[in-house]
C-alpha cells in the first residue's frame, strides 16, 4: 500500500520515533508499505516519521539499476555490495562512525532541494531486521550516508537542519512563501547548485 509522504513544514516530521519493543505483524506490514512507497517515490530511503508513524523504523535501497531497470551492484563499494537490500531496520543505532565525507543530499520530505551535507564516511549500525532478529550493517559509500540521513528523521531532524543557518533559512523561507518547485525547476536548481560548488572549489584551489 502506498503511503502519504509528509513534507516540511508538517509538524509530525519533528516527532522523535519511539523504540520498538518487538516486531509485530503490524510493524512488519508497515515496513513493507514503506518499501513500496519508497520505490513509488523513486527514493532510496524512508523513515517511519515521514509517513506519520513515530516509531524507530527505516527502510533503504541504494542499489543502482541497469538498463532494464533491475537492481545491480555495479558501482557499489565492496562493503555496500555485501549488504543485502532492500534493508528494513528497527531501532537502528550507530555503534561506529569513522572519517568524514560530503554528499549532495535531497529528501522526499523536502522535494526539489539539494545541498551538500557533512557525514561520516564509514558506519556500523545495529538494529533489528524485518523478523525482529539482531543485525549489524557495516558499510561506507552512499549506503552509509543514507543510513545517517534516515536515522536523523527518527530524531525529528531534516537534512536542511544540518546546513548553515543562512542556507537553511533560505530554503525554509522559499518553501513557506512559494511552495515546492516543479520537477523542471528542481532539476535546474540542482544543476546551478553543482556549478556554484564547482566554481567555488576551483577558486579555492
Catalytic positions, written as ranges: 150
Q: What's the rounded Cα separation, in Å, for the pair 55 and 90?
A: 8
* Helices and strands in the chain: count of H runs, count of E runs: 5, 5
35 to 9, 136, 180: CA distances (angstroms) = 23, 20, 24
DSSP string, 103-129: EEE--TTSTT--EEEEEEEEEEEEEE-
Q: Smallest Cα–Cα separation from 42: which of 73, 81, 5, 72? A: 5
- Whether 34 contacts 59, CB under 8 Å: yes
Q: What's the rounded Cα separation, in Å, for the pair 23 and 149?
A: 23
- Whether 114 contacts 190, CB under 8 Å: yes
Distance of CA 45 to the CA centre of its chain: 5
Amino acid at each position: 500500500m502506498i503511503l502519504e509522504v509528509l513534507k516540511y513544514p508538517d509538524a509530525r516530521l519533528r516527532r522523535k520515533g519511539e523504540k520498538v519493543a518487538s516486531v509485530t505483524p503490524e510493524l512488519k506490514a508497515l515496513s513493507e508499505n514503506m518499501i513500496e512507497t519508497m520505490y513509488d517515490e523513486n527514493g532510496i530511503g524512508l523513515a517511519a516519521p515521514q509517513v506519520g508513524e513515530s516509531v524507530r523504523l527505516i527502510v533503504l535501497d541504494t542499489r543502482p539499476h541497469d538498463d532494464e531497470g533491475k537492481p545491480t551492484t555495479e558501482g557499489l563499494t565492496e562493503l555496500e555490495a555485501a549488504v543485502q537490500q532492500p534493508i528494513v531496520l528497527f531501532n537502528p543505532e550507530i555503534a561506529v562512525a569513522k572519517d568524514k565525507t560530503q554528499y549532495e543530499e535531497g529528501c522526499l520530505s523536502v522535494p526539489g532541494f539539494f545541498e551538500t551535507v557533512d557525514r561520516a564516511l564509514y558506519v556500523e549500525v545495529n538494529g533489528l531486521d524485518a523478523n525482529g532478529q539482531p543485525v549489524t550493517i557495516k558499510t561506507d559509500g552512499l549506503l552509509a550516508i543514507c543510513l545517517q540521513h534516515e536515522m536523523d528523521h527518527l530524531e525529528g531532524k531534516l537534512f536542511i537542519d544540518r546546513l548553515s543557518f543562512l542556507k537553511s533559512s533560505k530554503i525554509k523561507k522559499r518553501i513557506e512563501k512559494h511552495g515546492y518547485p516543479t520537477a523542471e525547476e528542481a532539476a535546474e536548481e540542482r544543476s546551478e547548485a553543482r556549478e556554484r560548488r564547482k566554481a567555488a572549489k576551483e577558486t579555492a584551489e
